Every structure is written in structure tokens, then in C-alpha cells.
Amino acid sequence: MKKVLITGARSGIISKVILRIINDYELYLTVHTDSELMVMKNKYKDYKNVKCFKLDVTNTADYKILDDLDIDIYIANAALAESGAICEIPLDKIRNTFEVNVFSNVNLLQRVLKKMIKKGYGKVIIMGSLAGRIPMPFLGAYSGSKASLIKMVEALRFELMLLNTDIKVSLILPGLYRTGFNKLAMDKKYDFMDVNSFFEYQLDFIRGYDRFVLFFEQRALTSIVNKICQAIYSDNPRFIYSAPFSQNMFAKIISLFW
């Protein structure tokens, strides 16, 4: 069996992917905290081909688990989203978003790539977001972090072409799906916007805007799960996979005029 390392494997879209591929691969599933690890170990206790680890991507001490793992496919799914207007969101929230979504992801990616480059093959699948393609009011920190990650992965793809290896790179760009991630992210800004905000007289409008955006969340995860599984199973995966189709087309149109 090929061996797959997945970060941020606790829930959401990736949990559906795991159930799709669980009988075909040896899985190394990582989560952020010890409490999440206990839940994961219990959830997959009947699968001998599944091993669960605690891996906080911001804590390099946790990276030692990689030393003994042979990785054929790496799925970088760990992510954080903070919300708030760029003119007033606390800088530490922006910094933390970039630390998780960009710097730590790249740090871990470099370590995995060293293993893959040495053996001459492998597959890297990076979870981006359509939010990295279009401007997202009050989600600028998250959108900006995903835009940065997308551009780095685009550069990585060309860099790997210069090496005599068979390492495939794919970028997954999900749109809005109802997993709870989007609402949780949007709600975070009210922790500090309710007090002395520049937007104190627009809060009702902003809450309405949030509801409008969340209205377009896809309840069924099938479309994006299918795309991720295509990237996993294919011997020659595409570079970019995105879903749902309607939101992907909207993002392309917006990018032409913005």
C-alpha cells in the first residue's frame, strides 16, 4: 500500500476523503491537539492501516514523527481562519493566520519534499481555497494567506520540473462548503468589532452580508471530495482542482475584472 500523510485530519471535507480512500492506502492522520488525537484513535481503531499522531504544524518539535515515516502522498490540509477588517483586525491574528496557513505549511512541506526528492518520486496535494483567488471583505487575513500559499505552490511546481524526479504537485481550491469552518471564521471578528469598531454603525449590514455569503455554501461535499480523490488516485493528476463549478466560474469572472 502507498502511504499517505494528511495534516488537519480531524473533520470537515478531509474526513469524507479519508472514508473514501481508507481501504486503499496506509494512512498517517495528524491532528492539532492531544484531545483530538484520542478521538481520532478511537474513530479509526478498527483499521490496522491507519495511524494517528498529534502534529501541531506550528510546533517543530512535533515534526519528529516524520523521521520514521515513509511518505508517498502528502496532503497539506491544516488551516486556520481569522476574520475582521484589515484596518482594525489585531495584527497577532493576521500573523497567526499566516503562521499556520503559510509558514508552517511550507516548513512541513520542505521536510516532506526532502524525503520525496531523495527517493525520486511522490505526490504533494495542497489545500488552497477559492478565497485566495478573489477579494473577501472581512476575511482578508485568510484570503491573503491562501493567496500566498497558492503562489508558492505555483512556483514549486516549476521548480520541481528542474529536478530529475517524478514528484507530482496538485492544488485543491474549494469554494464554500457547509462544514462549520466558514461560519466559525466569520463569527470571530465580532469578538473585537463589538467594541470601539470603525464599523460599529455597519454591524447589522455586515451580519447580513455574512448570512448572504453563507447562503451559497454547498451542503453536499461530494463535488470537492471527488476532486481530491481524483488527485490522490491519478498517476498524472492535474495541477489545479476546484469545486463547486458555479463558484469556481464566479471566481474566474471576478478575477478578470477586479
Distance CA(12)–CA(25), nearest Å, equals 20
CA torsion, points 218, 221, 223, 227, in degrees to nearest 10? 130
**pLDDT confidence bin for 256, thresholds 50/70/90:** confident
Does residue 194 carry a pLDDT above 80?
Answer: no
Distance CA(157)–CA(22), nearest Å, equals 27
Q: Given CA atoms 216, 133, 239, 232 in this order, what sign does their dihedral have? A: negative
Mean pLDDT for 19-48 is 96
Q: Which domains does the chain have, with CATH numbers?
A: 3-257 (3.40.50.720)
Distance CA(169)–CA(154), nearest Å, equals 9
Does residue 252 carry a pLDDT above 80?
Answer: yes
Burial zone of 216 (CB within 10 Å; 0-12 exposed, 13-18 middle, 19+ buried) = middle
Edge-to-edge strand ranges of the sheet holding 50-54? 50-54, 26-31, 3-6, 73-76, 121-127, 166-174, 240-243
In tens, the pLDDT along 198-249 reads: 999 999 999 999 999 999 999 999 999 999 999 999 999 999 999 999 999 9
In tens, the pLDDT along 59-107 reads: 999 999 999 999 999 999 999 999 999 999 999 999 999 999 999 999 9
